[in-house]
Amino acid sequence: MLHKKSIDAFDRARRVIPGGVNSPVRAFKAVGGDPVFFSKGEKAWLTDIDGNRYIDYVGAWGPMILGHAFPPVLEAIRRTVNDGTAFGAPTERETELAELIISMVPSIEMVRLVNSGTEATMSAIRLARGYTKRDLIVKFQGCYHGHGDSFLIAAGSGALTFGIPDSPGVTKAVANTTLLAQFNDINSVKELFEKYGEQIAAIIVEPVVGNMGVIIPESNFLRSLRDITKQYGALLIFDEVMTGFRLSSGGAQRIFGVFPDITTLGKIIGGGMPIAAYGGSEAIMSHIAPVGAVYQAGTLSGNPLAVTAGIEMLKVLKNDSSIYEQIGKNTEYLSKSIHKACTGAGIPCVINQIGSMMTLFFTEKTSVKTYADAIASDREKFSIYFRAMLESGIYLPPSQFESWFISATHGKIEIDLTVEKNEEVLRKIGGV
Ligand code: KE4
């Protein structure tokens, strides 16, 4: 494949944008090579500025569950934009979207719309701290909740100490209010609560992890988080920015039957437009300004175009549960086909798949259930595989530690072609 225009575009972009990208993962640092610049998306396909076409498994990092350029979304935006792009005042559409979200997500009685997943998670922990009048937050090593200071925290020296800043600019003071536990290790949570329980405002967790690659909660792990937070009077926050409306029309919480106090949402609820949300019981959400004292605001929150897109997305997802069944089946078939091919090629791997989320880990391990398991994967092998698949017209997330996203528009043609290209690539890279 020729990438001359992308290479030139990247050179130009790097002169005026840090790293040439507006979000770090897009720069291909984790997989090497230069990023591809795209000009068009349609259904399961992307076209780059050199005219190359790819089957897309990034889906803008989750929003495109109904495929790129979903016609009802485009039509609704076209219709809405003629009346203006923002008013900074309430519109009925925002209420309609809020009512839709509440009707779909079991634990949400009231919801506030914001502009990004990071805003949603930052607001959720501020709300938890304001509601409980406690300062400490527990998060899990390897889980990502956006770039809020409280989340950019690395593991401290000991299991029972506070985190340390994981980025310059994050202060020690902030790191001293974040405790780190290990996903799928309930004892690591119990130890923290035994030591700090009365000071802990909330646990925030990706109920199914996407940001270590896909890691599925062991049975009872989420239930145990629910029990321990209730026992100590802390709140449970499910960060469903990725899993919300992805794993089911009611998110991961409806699949696992565990219901948090606060849920954060994003990605799919905008169908690619910038919008996110956080919600919970009325008792908790009524602590948010202007009703309550916990302050949170946003100039473009509830933006009419983004809200219109979200209404169209959720109307389809709410009314057609067969979508989830279909994309789950297609993803399972893809996952099993790739695993079979890797095994046949003598390339050890583990694939974690749930619904339309999956990750191929190149690892000698027989399972990937924890952060330690995930980071033991062979990143170099993934990079070689990624670049070979890219050259074969398959656009995967440019990092071992991300979820692949399958959409309702990944049909037999796309899945079979991906399986075929995977086999070709494995023969090419062999036991590298
Ligand atoms: P944003 O601020 O990027 O809209 O959302 C942050 C966020 C919060 N919670 C979860 C579970 C998330 O996955 C994310 C963002 N996900 C990444 C991909 N793993 C976005 C891609 C990027 O950073 O460019």
pLDDT by residue for the chain (432 residues), tens only, comes to 889 999 999 999 999 999 999 999 999 999 999 999 999 999 999 999 999 999 999 999 999 999 999 999 999 999 999 999 999 999 999 999 999 999 999 899 999 999 999 999 999 999 999 999 999 999 999 999 999 999 999 887 777 778 889 999 999 999 999 999 999 999 999 999 999 999 999 999 999 999 999 999 999 999 999 999 999 999 999 999 999 999 999 999 999 999 999 999 999 999 999 999 999 999 999 999 999 999 999 999 999 999 999 999 999 999 988 999 999 999 999 999 999 999 999 999 999 999 999 999 999 999 999 999 999 999 999 999 999 999 999 999 999 999 999 999 999 999 999 999 999 999 998 765
140 Cβ inside 6 Å of ligand 1: no
DSSP assignment of 321-360 equals THHHHHHHHHHHHHHHHHHHHHHHTT--EEEEEETTEEEE
Question: Alpha helices of 162-269 — where are they, by DSSP H?
Answer: 172-175, 186-196, 221-232, 251-256
Q: What is the pTM of this model?
A: 0.98
For residue 431, the model assigns a pLDDT of: 60
Catalytic residue among 56, 149, 185, 239: 239
User: How far does the chain reach from its first CA to its final CA, in angstroms?
Assistant: 22
Specify the DSSP class assigned to residue 270: G
Closest by CA position to 113, among listed 240, 313, 264: 264
Q: What 3-state class would DSSP assign to 118?
A: helix
179's enclosing H/E stretch is: strand 178-181
> Which residue type sits at 379?
R
Nearest CA among 342, 348, 336 for reference residue 376: 348
CA of 403 to the centre of ligand 1 (A): 11
Catalytic residue among 54, 57, 131, 144: 144
Q: Which of 336, 298, 357 is nearest to 349 (CA)?
A: 336
Structural contact between residues 405 and 60, judged by C-beta atoms closer than 8 angstroms: no
CA dihedral 380, 385, 391, 396 (to 10 degrees): -100
Please tell me if the CB atom of residue 402 comes closer than 6 angstroms to any atom of ligand 1. Answer: yes
Active site residue 196: no
Q: Tell me how far apart the alpha carbons of residues 334 and 4 are, in angstroms, rounded to a whole number.
A: 31
Ligand 1 centroid–CA 265 distance in Å is: 10
| Count of positions (residues) in the chain | 432
- Is residue 344 within 8 Å of 337, Cβ to Cβ? no
- Residue 127, ligand 1, Cβ within 6 A: no
239 as an active site residue: the answer is yes
* Paired strand residues for 239: 264
Q: How many CB atoms lie within 10 A of CB 90?
A: 9
Contact indicator for 325, 341 with CB cutoff of 8 Å: no
With a 6 Å cutoff on the Cβ, whether 242 touches ligand 1 is yes
* Strand (E) or helix (H) holding 200: strand 200-205
Domains for the chain: give ranges and CATH numbers.
Answer: 4-69+321-429 (3.90.1150.10), 71-319 (3.40.640.10)
Q: What is the pLDDT of residue 2?
A: 87
Q: Which atom of ligand 1 is nearest to the CA of 143?
A: 11
Distance CA 43, CA 406 (A): 11
Please indicate whether residue 118, judged by its CB atom, sits closer than 6 Å to ligand 1: yes
Judged by DSSP in three states, 185 sits in coil
The answer to whether the CB of 146 is under 6 A from ligand 1 is: yes
**Per-residue pLDDT, 122:** 98
With CA atoms as reference, report the closest residue to 124 among 204, 209, 230, 231.
204
402 CA to middle of ligand 1, Å? 10
Residue 335 has a pLDDT of 98
Written as one string, the DSSP assignment of 15-71 is TTSGGGSSSGGGG-TTT-SPPPPEEEEEBTEEEETTS-EEEESSGGGTT-TT-BT-H
Q: Is 219 in the pocket of ligand 1 (CB under 6 A)?
A: no
Q: How far apart are CA 31 and CA 395, in angstroms?
A: 12
CA–CA separation, 269 vs 278, rounded Å? 11
- pLDDT the model gives residue 156: 76
Rounded Cα distance between 409 and 323, Å, is: 10
User: Exposed, middle or buried: residue 38 (CB in 10 Å: 0-12, 13-18, 19+)?
Assistant: middle
DSSP annotation of 4 reads H
- List, in order, residues 6 or more apart from 171 with CB less than 8 Å away: 149, 165
Kindly report the protein residue whose alpha carbon is nearest to atom 21 of ligand 1. Answer: 61
Q: Which atom of ligand 1 is nearest to the CA of 206?
A: 11
Q: Of 43, 139, 267, 369, which one is the catalytic site residue?
A: 267
| 314, two tokens | 């959720």
124 alpha carbon, distance to own chain's centre:
16
Give the 3-state secondary structure percentages of the chain, helix then strand then coil, rounded to 5. 40, 20, 40
The protein residue with its alpha carbon nearest to ligand 1, atom 15, reads: 146
CA 392 to chain centre: 26
- Is the CB–ligand 1 distance for residue 349 below 6 Å? no
Residue with the smallest CA separation from ligand 1 atom 18 is 61
Measured distance CA(187)–CA(288) in Å, rounded: 33
d(CA 316, CA 319): 5
Q: Is 371 a residue of the active site? A: no
From the list 103, 101, 145, the residue with the least C-alpha distance to 123 is 145
Q: How far is the CA of 146 from the centre of ligand 1 (A)?
A: 5
Residue 380 CB partners (closer than 8 Å, separation 6+): none
